[in-house]
């Protein structure tokens, strides 16, 4: 029982740190239906209160509570600035401007937060996995389900970390004697752990979601993330198989109306969390929509982060994603009207705004593009074009005219750029994994260096762990 006392204490400290006003662990469990700062307890657990308290903390870290974390919008913003999606205004502050200009200092607060919040959450995840494994008061079925979904959570964190920083310390326990001075593991070793977690989760999770909505991972959430991981590893057949498992499940379909993709109950949502922040709905809407004060006319507010000309020029004529997923404002500055476009996939500034939006982690359109790319790499071009055109048709575009393998792959990468813009760093990751980053950003940005493709290990981490080695160029 000692393990769960430790977990509950840690979860309680985490909640306090996040600014959640809770007076006891019991209160964390007895949260009201659809509260503004927490996922409903009924959607997390309905068994041991110790386990509920511990694992609710993991899901709390995904919430848009007002704090900046790696899983609550920070990747979308930072990677969008690093790549060619977002441009900061002069009022954005030094940290995002450093990221945009690819001149990040090792003490950059935005980049450092990605690392620190990930490892804070990973400690919590590892504690929960150890505690659940040692617990004998819950059923074997519940233990299996919880272990599988937490393994998916851990895989997502490590997938994000290695695509931002390269090799990172591989922490799978809570023993500080062994973890406080870990060196950076090779990227291949971290991918091995990700695969181990996801393939084990596949064995433990069921096709049906364990609670209402698509909040807690089911089998197809594990399959979807695994498909993405295989794609990034260049394991084309495995990527195709995993993506096909999700697409052929019959549980998901592309929303015909682009404005409904991110709404609660979206038919293409594979993994989607309630957007119930204490201050705003999603971090993306709060940060990317020009006016955060609904009483302030948008025409007087320059977007803090506007869409880049590189991204805008990539849209084809008639693409409804530019119409539905990009906002447009004309701001009068010194008597001159200037037009700005901004990311508008999420439209609700406040959680109470109708219709209700949820926070999307994985969705079906990405799985079609994953399978299309894997099929094209395997030279199954007809199948690749069929999947690609599913996404293009939904956007109001004609079928692709690509013929050769190289042309089909280029068409798929273009479609990923448009379909997944300002969404979990996909464009930034794609530029790196395909080897196109130096060519693209070397042309689009001033003073680009190849070492800018990864973020610096936070200075504070280097100072406290002598075994950590900084990335070249920092």
Residue 19 has pLDDT above 80, yes or no: no
Q: What is the DSSP letter of 357?
A: B
Please indicate, yes or no, whether residues 198 and 52 belong to a single structural domain of this protein: yes
Residue 474 has pLDDT above 90, yes or no: yes
Nearest to 76, CA basis, from 310, 326, 425, 427: 425
Angle at 130 (CA atoms; ends 124, 133), nearest 5 degrees = 135
Residue 215: inside a domain: yes
> Domain total for the chain?
2
Query: In the listed set 301, 326, 360, which residue is the last one of a domain according to the structure?
Result: 360
Flag the least confident range among 232-236, 306-310, 336-340, 453-457.
Answer: 336-340
CATH number of 451's domain: 1.25.40.390
Residue 336: inside a domain: yes
Please indicate, yes or no, whether residues 205 and 349 belong to a single structural domain of this protein: no
Nearest to 215, CA basis, from 23, 360, 94: 360
C-alpha torsion 311→317→318→321, nearest 10: -10
Q: What are 230-245's pLDDT values in tens digits?
A: 999 999 999 999 999 9
Do residues 88 and 439 make contact, with C-beta atoms less than 8 angstroms apart? Answer: no
Please indicate, yes or no, whether residues 314 and 167 belong to a single structural domain of this protein: no
Report the predicted TM-score, pTM, of the whole model to 2 decimal places.
0.89
Please indicate, yes or no, whether residues 73 and 141 belong to a single structural domain of this protein: yes
Distance between CA atoms of 50 and 47, rounded to whole angstroms? 9
Residue 257: inside a domain: no
pLDDT of residue 349: 84
Residue 455 has pLDDT above 70, yes or no: yes
Please indicate, yes or no, whether residues 309 and 239 belong to a single structural domain of this protein: no
Torsion over CA: 169, 172, 176, 177 (sign): negative
Distance between CA atoms of 385 and 212, rounded to whole angstroms? 35
Please indicate, yes or no, whether residues 115 and 16 belong to a single structural domain of this protein: yes
Angle at 262 (CA atoms; ends 258, 263), nearest 5 degrees = 105
Query: In the listed set 360, 383, 405, which residue is the last one of a domain according to the structure?
Result: 360
Domain ranges, residue 86: 2-251+437-464
For residues 28-56, give the mean pLDDT: 45
Please indicate, yes or no, whether residues 161 and 240 belong to a single structural domain of this protein: yes
Mean pLDDT (the chain) is: 87
The fraction of the chain above a pLDDT of 90, given in percent, is 70
Query: In the listed set 308, 339, 360, which residue is the last one of a domain according to the structure?
Result: 360
Residue 147: inside a domain: yes
Do residues 96 and 110 make contact, with C-beta atoms less than 8 angstroms apart? Answer: yes
pLDDT of residue 139: 86
Q: How far is CA 99 from CA 46, 82, 102, 463, in A?
A: 43, 6, 5, 22
Beta strand pairing status for 86-88 and 358-363? Answer: unpaired
């Amino acid at each position: 029982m000692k393990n769960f006392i430790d977990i509950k204490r840690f979860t309680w400290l985490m909640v306090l740190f996040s600014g959640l006003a809770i007076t006891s662990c019991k209160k964390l469990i007895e949260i009201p239906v659809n509260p503004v700062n927490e996922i409903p307890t009924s959607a997390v657990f309905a068994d041991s209160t110790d386990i509920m308290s511990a694992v609710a903390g993991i899901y709390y870290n995904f919430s848009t509570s007002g704090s900046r974390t790696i899983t609550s919008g920070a990747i979308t913003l930072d990677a969008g600035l690093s790549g060619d999606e977002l441009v900061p205004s002069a009022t954005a502050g030094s940290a995002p401007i450093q990221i945009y200009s690819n001149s990040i200092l090792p003490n950059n607060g935005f980049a450092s937060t990605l690392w620190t919040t990930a490892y804070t959450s990973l400690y919590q995840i590892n504690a929960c996995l150890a505690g659940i494994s040692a617990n004998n008061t819950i059923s074997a079925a519940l233990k299996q389900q919880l272990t599988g979904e937490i393994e998916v959570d851990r895989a997502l964190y490590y997938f994000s970390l290695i695509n931002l920083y390269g090799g990172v310390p591989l922490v799978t326990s809570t023993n500080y004697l062994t973890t406080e001075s870990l060196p950076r593991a090779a990227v291949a070793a971290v991918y091995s752990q990700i695969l181990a977690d996801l393939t084990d989760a596949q064995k433990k999770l069921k096709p049906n979601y364990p609670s209402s909505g698509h909040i807690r991972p089911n089998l197809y959430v594990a399959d979807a993330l695994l498909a993405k991981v295989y794609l990034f590893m260049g394991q084309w057949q495995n990527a195709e198989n995993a993506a096909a498992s999700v697409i052929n499940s019959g549980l998901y379909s592309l929303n015909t109306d682009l404005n409904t993709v991110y709404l609660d109950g979206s038919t293409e949502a594979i993994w989607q969390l309630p957007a119930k922040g204490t201050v705003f709905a999603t971090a993306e809407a709060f940060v990317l929509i020009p006016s955060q004060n609904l009483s302030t006319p948008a025409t007087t507010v320059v977007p803090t982060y506007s869409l880049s000309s590189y991204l805008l020029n990539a849209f084809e004529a008639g693409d409804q994603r530019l119409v539905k997923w990009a906002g447009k404002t004309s701001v009068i500055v010194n008597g001159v009207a200037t037009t700005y476009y901004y990311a508008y996939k999420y439209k609700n500034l406040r959680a109470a705004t109708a219709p209700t939006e949820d926070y999307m982690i994985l969705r079906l359109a990405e799985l079609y593009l994953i399978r299309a790319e894997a099929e094209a790499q395997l030279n199954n071009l007809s199948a690749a074009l069929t999947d690609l055109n599913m996404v293009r048709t939904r956007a109001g575009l004609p079928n692709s005219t690509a013929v050769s393998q190289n042309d089909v792959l280029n068409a798929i990468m273009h479609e990923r750029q448009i379909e997944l813009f300002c969404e979990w760093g996909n464009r930034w990751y794609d530029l790196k994994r395909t080897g196109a980053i130096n060519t693209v950003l070397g042309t689009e940005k001033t003073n680009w260096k190849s070492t800018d493709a990864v973020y610096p290990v936070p200075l504070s981490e280097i100072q406290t762990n002598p075994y950590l080695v900084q990335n070249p160029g920092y």
